[in-house]
Chains A and B, each alone.
Chain A
Amino acid sequence: MTTADIPTIARTCRQMRRDIIEMVGAAGSGHPGGSLSAVEIVATLFGAAMEHDPARPDLPERDRFVLSKGHAAPVLYAALAESGYFPREELSTLRKLGSRLQGHPDARKLPGVEVSTGSLGQGLALANGLALALRLDDNAASTVYCLLGDGELQEGEVWEAAMLAAHYRLGNVVAIVDLNGLQIDGPTCEVMDVGDVGAKFAAFGWEVLTCDGHSLHELLAAFGAARLHRGGPVVIVARTMKGRGVSFMEGLCDWHGKAPNAEQCATALSEMAEGSAL
């Protein structure tokens, strides 16, 4: 865990939100809602919780990050650019022909992306595999972080993987659920109720932490506690708001997979100006 102060991470969050709006706006398609809900989670990981070196993306001692909710690629790209994995100018190539910034993260193209994701439900099993490999490497230092969406928990493979992580006592796995309560077709409780997410993971043998997924203070505390728990897998259930930081997107599932137009981009960016609430 590196030390970054909360004001610094907060500034990064503000920049990442701007990046998300600008890159999805320029692409004309993409997933702003679930990217914005995960900004503080991802910024805290890349800015403080994770050991990583953009100059050496294959450093054996690095922590690993798996974006299981791969459609939130813009938030990952924003964090990677902010960290220095690639030039910020490249963000505007999102989703364009020839870009390393694919619609969903492609590990073969972009440094800093550990594994390719996008088909929901597959990230946790990949994270488990990475964690088993670290164990075989006698690498006790590294942790594998896996960010899941709450709608994604409807995929059966997530629970197959949840069973495996507990069975093999993968203390180097930390899952984070971006609990924004929404999915494409509506609220998760109406589309297919995922119920008490923490209780479900607890029943599968996981240590469960909960926090406000937009509070840097709470996220830092949760990641700190998760890191100390090495006896088995830990899940951080982070309560979030879809579209967070853009007034007209907040809490609306319509902004799951729709790009803002030029006017909407301008409005969103003005809300994120220096000195605004976020």
Chain B
Amino acid sequence: MSDKRATREALGATLLELAAEGRDDIVVLDADLAKATTTVKFAAAHPDRFFDVGIAEQNLIGTAAGLAAGGRTAFASSFAVFATGRAYDQVRNSVCYGNLDVKIAATHAGITVGPDGGSHQMVEDIALMRVLPNMRVLVPADYRAAAGAIRAAASTPGPFYIRLGRPALPAVYDDAFEFEVGRAYVLRAGTAVSLVACGAMVTRALDAANLLAAEGIAADVVDAATIKPLDEDTILASVTKTGAVVTCEEHSIIGGLGSAVAELVGEHAPVPLERVGVRDVFGTSGEADELMEHFGLSAGDIAAAARRVIARSSLSSS
């Protein structure tokens, strides 16, 4: 596909657009990764409103919180592993406790970081961010959604975590797409199983739906682009229709989208559920696509999980 683009590329580009549209209140901070996160584009155009804090992620979040307390909308960017893990207490106490207008736009999330290996492959960030009061968590599926997520966060007061990735992803949405915080998007309508995915797994869920369609199984595919607040209505409507659900995320099966959907479905509409994700292990070096196969995050893995929940669903209903 010629239009494959990384979600992280939307960061620098969208911040530039927002500045051009007159958002002088936006400041951007990075911790010596501006080239990789792409905030360097903003830095070059608006050096007065860009602050590199050096290799000091606690300082990144703390300084951003101070700028937000001073009336700015502060975007803080680093790799997901450092922005959420290294600076967790700053995110909790300096940002979320004070409900400050800080947008943590973290790139290189998940295992698709690739060859850098397990130390840098962050698969716990959604869990860490989701549990914080006042925090909202966005996991865009493609470049267009990422740009929309950044815009939506910029225009909505309060803390946000925006999860962005390193590799180029196929387009899911067209240029008319507008990201809405708290909304899940039904990308394909089916009756037999709900595939609820986020981020890089949305395309794989759509691929899995194609595999299942060839077997006569019609899958609902839902992009849960906002993990928090979760679009409970859309997800419940899907699972009550299909009676079976598979969650798909490039994240640990503990604490992320799978947990959020399990909590919702368990309380309101118990149906057979399987979580496709990283199974409580650290990552390892390899190319992104190899790793997605290695950790069981391929379209085939999703389709297999779908067959299993459908079997369990028909058992319980027969």
B58 near A125 with CB under 8 A, answer yes
CB-nearest residue of chain A relative to B92? A119
In the complex, chain B residues whose CB is within 8 Å of the CB of A121:
58
Interface residue B27 (Cβ < 8 Å from any Cβ of A): yes
- Give CA–CA (A107, B65) in the complex, Å: 13
Question: B27: which A residues are within 8 A, CB to CB?
Answer: 132, 136
B51 touches A132 (CB 8 A): yes
Q: Which residues B51-92 have CB closer than 8 A to chain A?
A: 51, 53-54, 56, 58-59, 61-72, 74, 89-90, 92
Instruction: Give Cα A220 to B92, complex, Å.
Output: 36
Find A126's partner among B48, B66, B71, B89 (CB 8 Å cutoff). B66
Could you tell me if A133 and B90 are in contact, using CB atoms closer than 8 angstroms? no
Which one of A5-13, A75-83, A157-165 is at the B interface? A157-165
A151 to B94, CA, bound (A): 20
Given contacts A118-B93, A163-B54, A164-B59, contact A136 B69 (CB under 8 A): no
Cβ of B59 and Cβ of A133 under 8 Å apart?
no
B99 contacts the other chain (Cβ, under 8 Å)? yes
Partner of A129, one of B56, B65, B97: B65
Contact status B66-A116, CB under 8 Å: no
Contact of A125 among B65, B71, B72, B97 (CB under 8 A): B65
A164 with B71: in contact, given A125-B65, A128-B63, A128-B66 (CB under 8 Å)?
Answer: no
Best-buried of A106, A125, A129 by chain B (most CB within 10 Å): A129
Select which of A119, A129, A168 is within 8 A of B69 by beta carbon: A129
**Contact across chains for B99 and A129 when beta carbons are under 8 A apart:** no
Q: What is the chain A residue whose CB lies nearest that of B59? A: A160
Query: Nearest Cβ distance between residue B144 and chain A, in whole angstroms?
Result: 31
- Interface of A (DSSP majority class): helix
Interface string of A125-169 (1 = CB under 8 A from B): 111111111101100000000000000000011001101100110
On whether the beta carbons of A125 and B70 are closer than 8 Å, the reply is no
Which of B48, B53, B63, B98 contacts A136, CB < 8 Å?
B48
Whole-angstrom CA separation of A167 from B32 in the bound complex: 14
B49 contacts chain A at the CB level, 8 A cutoff: yes
Q: Is the CB of B59 within 8 A of A125?
A: yes
Q: Does chain B have a CB within 8 A of A115?
A: yes
A10 to B61, CA, bound (A): 39
Does residue A122 face the partner (Cβ distance < 8 Å to B)? yes
User: Contact between B63 and A107 (Cβ–Cβ < 8 Å)?
Assistant: no
| Chain B residue contacts of A122, Cβ below 8 A | 58, 62, 89-90, 93-94
Let me know if B56 and A137 touch, CB within 8 A: no
A-B contact count, CB below 8 Å?
107
CA A105 to CA B196, docked complex, whole Å: 41
By a CB distance below 8 angstroms, the chain B residues around A116 are 93-94, 97-98
Residues from chain A with Cβ under 8 Å of B89 in the complex? 119, 122
* Residue of A with least CB distance to B67: A129
Contact check, A132 vs B56: say whether CB atoms are below 8 A apart.
no
Chain A 160-195 interface mask (CB, 8 Å, partner B; 1/0): 110110011000000000000000000000000000
Query: Which residue on B lies nearest to A163, using beta carbons?
Result: B54
Choose among B27, B56, B66, B90 the residue with the greatest number of A CB atoms under 10 Å from its CB. Answer: B66
**Using Cβ atoms and an 8 Å threshold, which residues of chain A touch B69?**
107, 114-115, 126, 129-130, 133
A133 touches B70 (CB 8 A): yes
Docked CA distance A130–B65 (Å): 8
The residue in B62, B72, B99 that gathers the most chain A C-beta atoms within 10 A of its C-beta is: B62
Q: Could you tell me the distance in whole angstroms from the C-beta of A37 to the nearest C-beta in chain B?
A: 23
Partner of B66, one of A125, A137, A157, A167: A125
Q: With contacts A125-B65, A129-B68, A130-B70 known, is A119 near B59, CB below 8 A? A: no
A90 to B78, CA, bound (A): 43
Say whether, besides A115-B69, A129-B68, A161 and B93 are in contact (CB < 8 Å).
no
Given A125-B94, A157-B90, are A133 and B67 also a contact pair (CB < 8 Å)?
yes
Tell me if A115 and B59 are in contact (CB < 8 A).
no
Q: Which residue of A lies closest to B52 (CB)?
A: A167
Residues of B with C-beta under 8 A to A107: 69, 98
Given contacts A125-B62, A133-B71, 19 further A-B contacts (CB under 8 A): A116-B94, A116-B97, A116-B98, A118-B93, A122-B58, A122-B90, A124-B62, A125-B61, A126-B94, A128-B63, A128-B66, A129-B62, A137-B71, A157-B56, A157-B58, A157-B62, A160-B59, A161-B63, A163-B56
* Interface pairs A-B: 9 shortest CB-CB: A129-B66, A133-B70, A125-B62, A160-B59, A160-B56, A126-B66, A129-B67, A119-B93, A157-B58
In the complex, 20 of the A-B residue pairs with CB atoms within 8 angstroms, ordered by the A residue number, are: A107-B69, A107-B98, A118-B93, A121-B58, A122-B62, A122-B94, A125-B90, A129-B65, A130-B69, A132-B51, A133-B69, A133-B71, A136-B70, A136-B72, A160-B53, A160-B59, A161-B59, A163-B54, A163-B59, A168-B51
